[in-house]
Every structure is written in C-alpha cells, then in structure tokens.
Amino acid sequence: MTDAGAGPLLLVGCGKMGGALLQGWLRQGADPRNILVVEPMADPHRVLAAPGVKVLAEPGQVPADFAPAVVILAVKPQSMDEVAPRYGRFAGPDTVFMSIAAGTKIAYFERQFGADAAIVRVMPNTPAAVERGMSVLCANGGVSAARRETCTRLMAAVGETAWIEDEALMDAVTAVSGSGPAYLFLLIECLAQAGVDAGLSEELAAQPAAATVSGAGELARRSAETPGQLRVNVTSPGGTTQAALEVLMADDGLAPLLRRAVQAAARRSRELGG
C-alpha cells in the first residue's frame, strides 16, 4: 500500500492514538515522505519510526505547497477550540478532515472549516495500539464514496471498522466500544481477584485471567458461531460453568449491570457533546 492508500497525510497530534495510527500506516507501506506530523510535545525518537516522517512543532511550519488529502485531528476534545481553527486553510474540495476527538460533533467542524467541508468523525478505541482496535466512522454529506474508502483504509491499519449514518448513534458507540476496553480490563481485574480469593497466588491468577479474556475474545471474533452459542459450547449440564453462569445470568447478574453501565456512559457522552 502506498501513502496509506490515501495521498499526503497531515496528522495533528501524535499521542497514544495518533502514534498508533502512524505506526499502522507505516507498517502497511505508507510512504513516510508523504506524512507530516504536527506535535508540539513529540519526542522525535518516538515519532520518527521511519526515515522521512517529518515532525513539526506547530501548523505554521507546514509548507505552503503541502496539500493533504486527509487532515487527521488526533487531539483531545478540550484542545480542539485552540487547535482546529489553525487548520482552516486546508479546507477545500480535495481535503477531508477526520477527527478522532470523542464527543466533538460533525457540526462543530463544519463551523470551523465551512459547511461544504468534508468531515468524518471517528470513535476508535485503545486496542488500536496492538492493531486490534475498533473504529466506527460517520461522515457528513461532503464525503464521497471514495473518501469514505480512504478513511476506512486509514483506520483499518489499526483494526476493524464500521460506518454509521446517524451521528446520534455515536453516543451508544462510545459507550460500547469506545469505553468498552475499560469494562474488559475491570473484568480481568475482578476475575484475577476472584482467583486469589479462591486460593491462587496473585501471579498465577493474573495470567489465566488476562489470557482467558483475550483468547475468548479472539475465538468470538473468528468463529462463525454467535457468542451465545460459544457460551453453550463451554457449558456442560450440571458442571462448573453452569454453576457460575447461574450467578452471572441471574436477574441481578451481569446483563442488567452492563446494560446500566452502557446507559450511563451513553448518557454522559450526550452530556459532553452538548
């Protein structure tokens, strides 16, 4: 793949998510000479994973003749009011703006870059750091099918992708996949602690807890069977798994607890989005 399948890229912000994207593009064959990074706090030795990736301290250093096909805004939402206006000069028919700032709506960027600007909003998640992320994308009317494909390829460098047409669904997406890794990390913590309480050492409990969650997730991803059927496959009638599931699947068990958690996260996402 050349140029990450996109053309010249301007990556604004190279923290954990921006850095994961950059590494993904380079692994997939992007030409580092066609990528510019603007990151005031960057450690050049960390960012420059390949010769040719140029790191700039501020947008005024971007060459006047640099015409990015995609401007990727990978900064925190609270920084966007300061950052976004500085990239308005790139707005035009040949550029799409792609934001991974949680809670920042498409309408915000249309106010910054113009109603005709091509805007894609993305909700990624942290497993992008190990190329196992989940990114859900939503576009405004200025984004053509070809631009959608470009943005899909860029995010596919760090995991799986999906598109939604109704931006209001981003709150639910945030609650399920954006915040979801934290739920699984908590599950690993709790499973390991339960193992300790049952008599295992902390070290012995931690390893199978993490490996089991990881392995079960990979099996669910690869299998043609539903998660429900995979659960049934593990559960022998009258066995140990059934005894545990009778607790987890009780009326006050895991399902209603997760439902309340996701509803709380989605509600908070709506509040933060204004």
Q: Under CATH, what is the fold of the domain 3-170?
A: Rossmann fold (3.40.50)
Q: What tens digit of pLDDT does each residue of 35-61 get? A: 999 988 755 555 555 567 888 989 999
Which tokens sit at 257? 């607890």
Cα–Cα dist 83/51, whole Å? 27
Tokens found for residue 44: 């050049």
Average pLDDT over residues 210-234: 97
β-sheet bridge partners, residue 73: 12, 99
pLDDT digits (tens, 9 = 90+) for 154-168: 999 999 999 999 999
Does residue 257 sit in helix, strand or coil? helix
Nearest to 192 by CA among 211, 213, 206, 207: 206
- What gap in Å lies between CA 173 and CA 162, rounded to an integer? 10
* Strand-pair partners of 158: none
Is there a shared CATH topology between the 3-170 domain and the 180-273 domain? no
Q: What is the pLDDT of residues 61-112, one digit of tens each?
A: 999 999 999 999 999 999 999 999 999 999 999 999 999 998 899 999 999 9
pLDDT above 90 covers what percent of the chain? 85
* pLDDT of 114 strictly over 90: yes
Looking at per-residue pLDDT, the higher value among 185 and 14 belongs to 185
Q: Report d(CA 74, CA 13) in Å as an integer.
A: 5
- How does pLDDT run across 237-256, given as a tens digit for each residue? 999 999 999 999 999 999 99
CA 22/CA 53 separation, integer angstroms:
10
* Predicted model pTM: 0.91
Q: Domain coordinates of the chain in residue numbers? A: 3-170, 180-273
Arithmetic mean of pLDDT over the chain: 93
HSE-CB at 196 with a 13 A cutoff on CA atoms is 11
d(CA 32, CA 54): 8
Residue 56 backbone phi and psi in degrees, to 5 = -115, 150
CA-CA distance, 177 to 121, in Å (whole number)?
15
Structure-derived torsion over alpha carbons of residues 231, 246, 177, 204, reported in degrees to the nearest 10: -80
CATH architecture of 180-273: Orthogonal Bundle (1.10)
- Distance, in Å, from the CA atom of 71 to the CA atom of 88, rounded to the nearest integer, reads 10
